[in-house]
Structure formats: structure tokens, C-alpha cells
Structure 1
């Protein structure tokens, strides 16, 4: 088996999200649930398909930056579709300015994506109230904002054929308005002034004119129901709203009850900071469920010295699958020499990644950029050194003290600890059957071994 370098290079791109509905991407997917502490995607799926198949559910999902949340949610989408659900998955960052989000923005994004999916599936819904709402918003924008050219289009205006000529397309109507709002704070402000007092009416229209008719038609087609997965809401900025509250808390705690009122199965990604804030209890009370957190892949056990052999084995396969996707897992191990100068170099890569899947790909990709495989130990160490130096430049003396405490106690407490240590990827979270613990990013841990970083 010869290594296809161009294909290996593309497959190792850390910015690529695996979509398990695509056969090529399925070759690269590794199921890490056994070394993450629990099978979160199985739990989300069971809640929808087995525990409450005919009743609306609302679940919260979060995790550390780059740990594989989107890939796991796309796996959930694929599995639910195989069970007969109609699943609408979308990345909210395509519709929203993540630095400035309100409830009406999220609801409009959901309405647009659901209606677009329904139109593509030739399902017939008549959102007359929504059409009136959008026409009212359009008139205000055209009257108040100079140069704004917004219309509520008909399907025939853009050559679509999912409906009859002249029928109203909710997806296009919302898209025309939200595209303007995303790019203009002035438009966004005016739109909210019109829509925020009408949020309960928007919710009612989504439920009565979109979701409930869609579910009825889907069941007539033999489908199990409707699931909406809203990805990337975890990227919402942790900034203060005009009222003084932080944006994540305002959206998911203060206004969480409204997000919980859609009459279908919904999975929201939420900012991880909420799991470390004093608002966690109120968040759980609002939604009736605790957020499910996707941790890192274990490369060591909680004692910090014993290697987690199962985690290491799966990470090796993650790397080798990108080099030889069509080869059986056991056979790939005999091909390590085609990718690395020795098996120890591969193990060094897996260990120093800390089980952070994007971190691993970032390091691997940087090695491939420097030289063709087999990747040498010197090449890898050079990449690690550069990455360590980049991280260390951002760490203040106070933060080194916090890192020492994590090294000793294996804990992170409070919102400040999250902001300083976890969001910056200085510290990783792990879980096993006994619960969670935290440890320093192994790239920084190397620096601690050279003097605890205090020389900085």
C-alpha cells in the first residue's frame, strides 16, 4: 500500500469537519466515546428516539474548543436519519453575528433553516402569519434605514421550483432580512426593535405554521418526527449586553424558557463558560436538563503517570486512518513506517496532543507542511517547540501560578478559571467512570518539567 500524499494532506486539514453522511468522511471517523467517559451522542439520541419519540425534547451540548463537537453532532444527525427522523442541522454562525445575538435572531435562524429543509423535501406549509411579520419588518427597514433594499421574495423570483410560481418562500424571506441584519448593526437594531416584543408570536408561528404541520406530514410519509440541531451557538461571545449581563447567560438563562418552547426535538450547542458559572443551576432549571460536556480523549489516567492504552490506540488509528483510510485498522499498524520514522514518534504526537483532536491535527498538519513523510522525530519536536513558544507568550505570571495549582489539584473552579485556563487551551478536561478532572496541556507540561515556567 502506497501513501497518497495529496490525499493524506487534505484529510489531515484541521479545519475540516467530518460529515458521517459522506462515505469518504466515514473512513476517517474514530469513535472515542469509550475514552471520553460516556457516550454523549448515544444519550442524546436515546432521549429523542426512545424516551420521548412523540414528545418535544430540548437538550444542551457543549465542549472544549476543537474537541470534535460538530463531528459528533453530524454523527447524531446521521444516526437519527437512519432511524427515520427528519433532521435539520445547521451552523448558526452562518446566520448570526456571534458578537451580538438576541433571541429573535436565533428563532429567525431556526425558522429559516427548518423552512428551507421542508421546501427541499417538498413539504407544504403555509406560514401566512410569518409572511405578515416579515412584511412588517421589511417596511420598517426600508423606511428607517437609508439604502436598505430588502424584499420578501416569492419562490418564482429566484427560479426555485419547490413551490408553485408566486407562492411565498419563508426561507428566502427570512434570508433576505437576516443577511442585511448580520452585516449591519443599524439594521440589526431596528429589526430587533420590531421583533423582540413579538417573540412569543414568533414562537407560536414557528410551532403552528412550521413545526406542527411538518411533523404531521412527515409522519404521513412514515417518518418518526422532526429534529433541529443548532450548532456553533457555543461560539457566542462572552460579552456584556446593554443590561449588564453576559451574553451567554442572557440568552440561555434569562431567555432560556423561550428557546425551550419549540414543539419538536431540539439540540442547542451552548458556550462552555455556562458550565463553570454560577448560572449553571438556573440553566438546568430553565431547560430541565444538565448540559452534556464533550471532554478530551484520555491519553493518561487520572493519576497523571499511567498511559491510557485504549485512548492511545484510538488516536494512533485517527492518524493512520487519514493516511490509509481503506486499510483495516489492524493492518494500518504495519504501515507506520510509511508515515513516521518510528512508532515512538507517532506515540509522541498522540501524547503531546493531550487527546485534543484538533490539536493533534494541527501538529500533524504542521509536520506535513515542513517535509514529506516519513515524519521524523526532529521535525515533530520542532513543531512542538514552536507551538509551545506560541502558547507561552500569552501566559502571564499569575496564570503560571494558576497552572501550577491545576498541576497539583487537577481542578478548575469558577468562571474565571474557565476564561483563563480552558478557553485559552492551557488546560484540558478529562472524564472517566469516576467523574472529571483537569490537567495541563501536555505541550505546556513539558515547560513545567523544565522549571515550572517561572523563568518567564
Structure 2
């Protein structure tokens, strides 16, 4: 029987229900078990900030698709319920994320983001001057950059730092001899912003928090990869003390490779511990054996978004896609959505395990081919369940594994790693004599 209009409409509903989006607090489709497990990183960070005196730093990480932005929204609400004033900033709106980052342009982006958030919420700025105008004056008087012409308007400088690699580089180069002054000026502005907010709310002791999202998206491309990753290490390790701002509580999202690249960086920021989101617990500890509880959680996630999903998928097929996703929620949704346009007749439904295999094959092919030296590395990861990073020069490859989800991070009491389930046959077939 050809696909009926009603069935086509139901397929469309499920397709759109699984569209990638950041969930706001209280969204009825939110499932707490996805990210909380035996510990709730949001609760821990909120408690830590609530207890901290003065300013402080929290670090938050996880692979793409694990729900960091959604959890940051929940953290914002939780902190506000504890009485704090909380600002959220997406750093991708303020800086170029595919080039080397230095403490100068990073703090410029953070201060600029804070300035805009304060302006939006309270309609004013400390000293009646936003940070961008203050930065223009600083660059012209302290650093003496006099040849940028019209780009040194407040709006123009923000756009140029985000979109113009040459401009970003020139600011970095000019600021290198004045890092201490630029850091101090940014810290001064952020401190004044805290005072301004406290004046607006009439409470001189009110906690003020800035959530800095998208830092984890900084990644190198091509021949520049290693330089970009090294710059991230230098930012969070070499300049750790500059990322801690007096009076202000800051939560930075960080790339998942940073804990490998610069372990212990948080200790230099006043003892910050990195909270990490991992893939849904759908495998037994360091094994390929599916965990029934984890599979049940992912079925709950689908049911929240589309209660009648069993009309379209056999439960065994959904479990198969859950295993094939490796517990990565974004990948799970993507695999389900990829199955839907191929349905041509009502009689095909509900989709079976056999029916979803073409989708799995298509998703696998997107990750292939894999160079032999990478296959050898991936096979070592399957055997040891660690990252197996041997030298710094290999970091871009590891970052690529994590960014592209060829390698996934899990936690069963302690953290461990394994390859994407769709790659198992390919990696397992790689000869042990070539290791």
C-alpha cells in the first residue's frame, strides 16, 4: 500500500521532533537521566559557585551532542534560583574559532560578551561606556594601534575579530607587548560590570555569574591544527591565572581534548575541577555488551518527543540504532531521522532491524576511509579503552577522533573510551600484525 497522507504526516512529525535544538529549562522532553547518572554536574557546579567567596572558575566539557548548552541553560536557572544574577554568552558570536587563540583576543571576547549582556538586561554600562568603546580607547592609547582606521569603531571591531583573520592576528601581535595591561583592563571592566549589576539589583553582595559557551568549539584546520591546539593549551595552562576574574564567577566550556593536552589546568584557577558530560551509559563497563537500563533511557527520550514511536519503529530496531549511535544523543536522533525519508509504503512500518541497516551503512560510509595509521590507533583504543595519545604531535588526530565521534567517551564509575560502534567491523578487521 503506497504511503498514505496520514502516515507521511506522522513520519514528518517524528522527523521534526528529533531536530537538533538546545532545550530550555522545564522543556517537557528533557530527560534528566541522559546527563546526570550517579552525579549531576550542574548541581555540583551550582553548589560550588554558591559556596565560593569572591570570584571563581568552573570548567565544563563534553563531546559535541552530549548536551552542554542545554545543561548550561539548566545551570543558569539553578543559580538564579539560588539568588545569583547569571549571564550566558556564546563565544562563537565574538571570536574566530578556527584560528590560534591568545589571552588578548580571548579576554576581549569575554569582556565584550559580558558588556553586551549587561547592556541588554539593564539598559546601561559601567561608567556609561560599553567595553567595545573602552577597548578602542585602550588600543589607541595604551597599545597605540593607529592604522586600523574605521574598523576601530565599537561594532566594527567586534565583527572584525570574529570574521577577519588578519585583523585578529594584528590585534594579537600588537597586544603581545602589553598583555599585562590588557588583562588588567579587561579584569577592571568585568569587576566594574559586577559592581554595576549589584547597584542595579540593590545588593552589594549579589553573586554575578558569566557562563561562557562554545569555547570547546575551538579547533584547528589543516596545517594550522597543531598551532591552534597548542594555543588552547597555552590559554588554559600558561594563562590560567588570567582566566580567574576577581568578583566574577565564570564557567568556561572547554574542548574535551584539553584534559589530555593540559591535565591539571583547573588547579591553577583556584582548584577548578572539570565536569564532563559523556555518552549515555548504554554499554557495560569497558565492553560492547549493551546495558538494558541505558537502552531504556533512550527509548524514554524518544517517547517524550514522540509518544507513538512504536507505530513507526519496532522496539528492537530502536535499540539497534541506540547501540549503533554509541549512546551519543545527537547521533541517535540523526540515525532515526535518516531512516524516515526512505519509507515509501505503509506496509514497511514499523521499521525492523533489517530495515534500518541501510541507514547504518550510510552513516558508516561517512566515516570512511580511515588511514592505516589511524586504524592502528583506533584498534589500540578498543583494546585499552584509553586515548592512547603517545606524543603531542598526535593531538590533532585525537581531537579529530573526538570531534568527529570516531571515538566516544563513557563513564561507568570512571571514564573510558571506545570507538564508534559502526566502525567496529572495520577496526577489528585491521590485522594485529600491523600494530
Structure 1 length normalisation: TM-score?
Answer: 0.79
In the alignment, which residue of structure 1 is the partner of 2:115?
A: 115
Q: State the SS of the aligned residue for 1:187.
A: helix
Q: Is the 8 A contact 1:141 1:191 kept in 2?
A: no
Q: Which residue of 1 aligns with 2:74?
A: 75
Confirm or deny: 8 A CA contact 1:230 1:267 kept in the other structure: yes
May I ask how many residue pairs the two structures share in their alignment?
A: 410
Of 160, 172, 186, 1:180 maps to: 160
| 1:368 equivalenced with 2:350 (yes/no) | no
Question: Which consecutive residues of structure 2, in runs of 5 or more, have no partner in the other structure?
Answer: 1-5
Distance, in Å, in 2 between the alignment partners of 1:313 and 1:242 is 40
2:147 maps to 144
List gaps (5 residues or longer) in structure 1. 152-172, 325-334
Distance 1:245 1:33 in 2: 29
SS of structure 2 residue aligned to 1:311: helix
User: How many Å separate the matches in 1 of 2:113 and 2:69?
Assistant: 17
SS at match of 2:22: coil
TM superposition shift of 1:186: 3.2
Q: Does 2:387 align with 1:407? A: no
CA distance in 2, matches of 1:296, 1:244: 26
Indicate the residue corresponding to 2:215 in structure 1: 233
Q: Which residue of 1 aligns with 2:97?
A: 98
| Aligned counterparts of 1:421 and 1:188: Cα–Cα separation in 2 | 28
Alignment deviations for residues 83-124 of structure 1 (CA, whole Å, 9 cap, x no partner): 332211121111110123222322222223222222233265
Number of the residue aligned with 2:415: 436
CA 1:74–1:4 in structure 2 vs 1: closer, same or farther (change >3 Å)?
A: farther
Change (3 A) 1:369 1:213: same
Superposition deviation, residue 287 in structure 1: 4.5
- Shift of the 407–88 alpha-carbon distance from structure 1 to 2, 3 Å rule, reads same
Aligned: 1:377 with 2:353: yes
Report if the CA contact (8 A) 2:22-2:69 is conserved. yes
Equivalent in the alignment of 1:314: 297
Q: Give yes or no for the alignment of 1:386 onto 2:385.
A: no
- How far apart are the structure 2 equivalents of 1:354 and 1:453? 24
Within-5 A mapping of 1:159-178: 173=154, 175-178=155-158
Partner of 1:298: 281
C-alpha distance in 1 between matches for 2:226 and 2:128 = 34
CA contact (8 A) 1:67 1:358 kept: yes
Post-superposition shift, 1:35? 6.5
1:219, distance to aligned residue in structure 2 (A): 4.9
Shift of 1:80: 1.9
Q: What pairs with 1:246-395 in structure 2 (closer than 5 Å)?
A: 246-277=230-261, 279-324=262-307, 335-340=308-313, 342-371=314-343, 374-393=350-369, 395=370
CA gap of 1:123–1:149, structure 2 versus 1, over 3 A, is closer
CA distance in 1, matches of 2:407, 2:169: 38
* Contact persistence 2:96–2:165 (CA under 8 A): no
Listed one character per residue, the Cα deviations across residues 184-204 of structure 1 (whole Å, up to 9, x for unaligned) are 233323434555513233234
TM-score by length of 2: 0.83
- Quick one: distance in 1 between partners of 2:227 and 2:317? 52
CA RMSD of aligned residues (A): 3.3
SS in 1 for 2:118: helix
